[in-house]
């Protein structure tokens, strides 16, 4: 049993699953932070209302962002070829994301240092950028991964990326960016409806209901593109050796219009994931209208998880296809680190992940309760 659990093929699949868990964890946990930042100009009209919105995420955003660091670290350690290509090929896009994310902590810390309206308005704008830009760019990155990235590998496995920033901003990628943006706006609105009181909560419900419906429609539209074969997928056509060497040049891959549906057709139970991704946002919209804030936030979490999981299940075992030379695409079985690295990382994860989850649960338990204008006035300068 132990030998099976730590076999190379099992470790590769396990780390593909763990990478998906980390990315979903980032979208679910830090996603509502970014959603709140994006919604800030629309749900809060006065300084006090903006402080209510900001203080719903102010105490927890730093802990939530740990999921982003964990995801990047997992890619670096478990899938070094994927890290090298995505973080170098998407360098300018990643730079925009990091710049936006850097603005966010600075805005949290400095916004309330001075009382002038213009001073606070600038930092409110920074919070908006720190929420909206990453929400859009992450979706753009997924869109490019789905349609293929212009890269190839040399004989010594050195990656050569041939794309540009403008090339990343293609129609399909921007469409996926809109899915991501509307999804996280929905998620942020669900958090505000659950955590805030007063007009901030009411405006969040109104906007969140529209964002949820838009998310369901956009995600269904993306599924239709795949179903009609308008979004070509990639299929591994050579024999798969799950415990083989990490060499992407030892296989053949072809571009196939129906490839992204192959896993769902082979295992029909998997259709439940995209179906929940489509209908989940409509239940979120219903939750907003029936004022069941707790269930609405849970439905929003589930919707976000299912939308992201759909992409991973559709692409498996491909993790980054090459549009320049499909056979150079990176897959789960030929782009991983060594068996020893994956094993040692898994042991560390089994030890540390429960600690992170317990600490996170404890923090949210301590900070339980709604944020109101009265609580902000009572807290004074101790609140954001």
Give the residue among 133, 138, 284 at the shortest CA–CA distance from 211: 284
Residue matched to tokens 């539209």: 221
- Secondary structure E strands in 31-92: none
Distance CA 195, CA 294 (A): 9
pLDDT at 70: 84
pLDDT at 380: 65
In the Cβ-directed half-sphere of 370, how many Cα atoms lie within 13 Å? 14
In the Cβ-directed half-sphere of 166, how many Cα atoms lie within 13 Å? 0
Distance CA 212, CA 210 (A): 5
3-state secondary structure of 156: coil
pLDDT in tens, 282-336: 999 999 999 899 999 999 999 999 999 999 999 999 999 999 999 999 999 999 9
Q: At what angle do helices 47-57 and 117-147 cross, to 10 degrees?
A: 50
pLDDT at 1: 66
pLDDT at 290: 92
Give the residue among 256, 253, 270, 252 at the shortest CA–CA distance from 312: 270
Quick one: tokens of 170? 């293609």
Q: What residues of the chain score a pLDDT lower than 50?
A: none
pLDDT at 383: 62
The single-letter DSSP state of residue 13 is H
> Exposed, middle or buried, 176 (CB in 10 Å: 0-12/13-18/19+)?
buried
Kindly report the pTM of this predicted structure. 0.93
Contacts of 134 (CB under 8 A, 6+ apart): 34, 97, 100, 101
**Taking the C-alpha atoms of 193, 354, 366 and 281 in order, what is their torsion angle to the nearest 10 degrees?**
0
Give the residue among 192, 176, 139, 190 at the shortest CA–CA distance from 299: 190
pLDDT at 155: 87
Instruction: Yes or no: say if 68 and 29 are a contact pair by the CB < 8 Å rule.
Output: no
Cis peptide before 79 (omega within 30 of 0): no
Instruction: Yes or no: say if 229 and 258 are a contact pair by the CB < 8 Å rule.
Output: yes
C-alpha distances in angstroms, 158 versus 150, 153, 154, 232? 14, 5, 5, 26
Give the residue among 220, 192, 371 at the shortest CA–CA distance from 296: 192
pLDDT at 302: 96
pLDDT at 237: 92
The single-letter DSSP state of residue 113 is G
pLDDT at 32: 92
pLDDT at 87: 78
């Amino acid at each position: 049993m132990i030998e099976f659990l730590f076999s190379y093929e099992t470790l590769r699949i396990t780390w593909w699953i763990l990478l998906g868990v980390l990315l979903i964890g980032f979208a679910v946990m830090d996603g509502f932070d970014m959603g709140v930042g994006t919604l800030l100009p629309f749900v809060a009209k006065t300084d006090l209302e903006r402080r209510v919105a900001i203080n719903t995420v102010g105490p927890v955003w730093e802990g939530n962002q740990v999921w982003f660091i964990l995801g990047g670290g997992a890619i670096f350690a478990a899938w070094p070829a994927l890290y090298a290509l995505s973080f170098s090929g998407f360098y300018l896009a990643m730079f925009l994301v990091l710049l936006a994310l850097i603005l966010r902590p600075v805005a949290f810390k400095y916004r309330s240092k001075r009382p002038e309206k213009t001073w606070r308005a600038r930092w409110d704008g920074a919070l908006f950028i720190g929420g909206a830009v990453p929400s859009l760019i992450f979706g753009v990155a997924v869109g490019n991964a789905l349609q293929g990235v212009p890269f190839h590998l040399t004989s010594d496995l050195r990656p050569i990326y041939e794309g540009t920033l403008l090339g990343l901003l293609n129609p399909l990628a921007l469409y996926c960016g809109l899915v991501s943006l509307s999804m996280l706006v929905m998620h942020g609105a669900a958090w505000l409806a659950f955590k805030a009181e007063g007009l901030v909560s009411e405006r969040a419900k109104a906007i969140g209901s529209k964002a949820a419906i838009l998310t369901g429609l956009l995600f269904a539209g993306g599924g239709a593109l795949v179903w009609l074969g308008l979004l070509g997928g990639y299929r591994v056509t050579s024999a798969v050796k799950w415990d083989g060497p990490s060499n992407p040049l030892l296989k053949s891959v072809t571009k196939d219009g129906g490839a992204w549906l192959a896993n769902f057709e082979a295992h029909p139970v998997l259709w439940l994931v995209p179906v929940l991704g489509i209908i989940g946002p409509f239940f979120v919209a219903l939750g907003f209208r029936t004022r069941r804030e707790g269930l609405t936030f849970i439905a929003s979490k589930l919707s976000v998880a299912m939308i992201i999981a759909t992409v991973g299940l559709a692409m498996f075992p491909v993790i980054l296809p090459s549009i320049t030379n499909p056979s150079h695409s990176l897959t789960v079985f030929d782009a991983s680190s060594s068996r020893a690295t994956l094993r040692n990382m898994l042991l560390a994860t089994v030890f540390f992940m429960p600690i992170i989850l317990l600490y996170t649960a404890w923090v949210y338990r301590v900070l339980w309760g709604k944020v109101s204008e009265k609580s902000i006035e009572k807290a004074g300068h101790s609140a954001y």
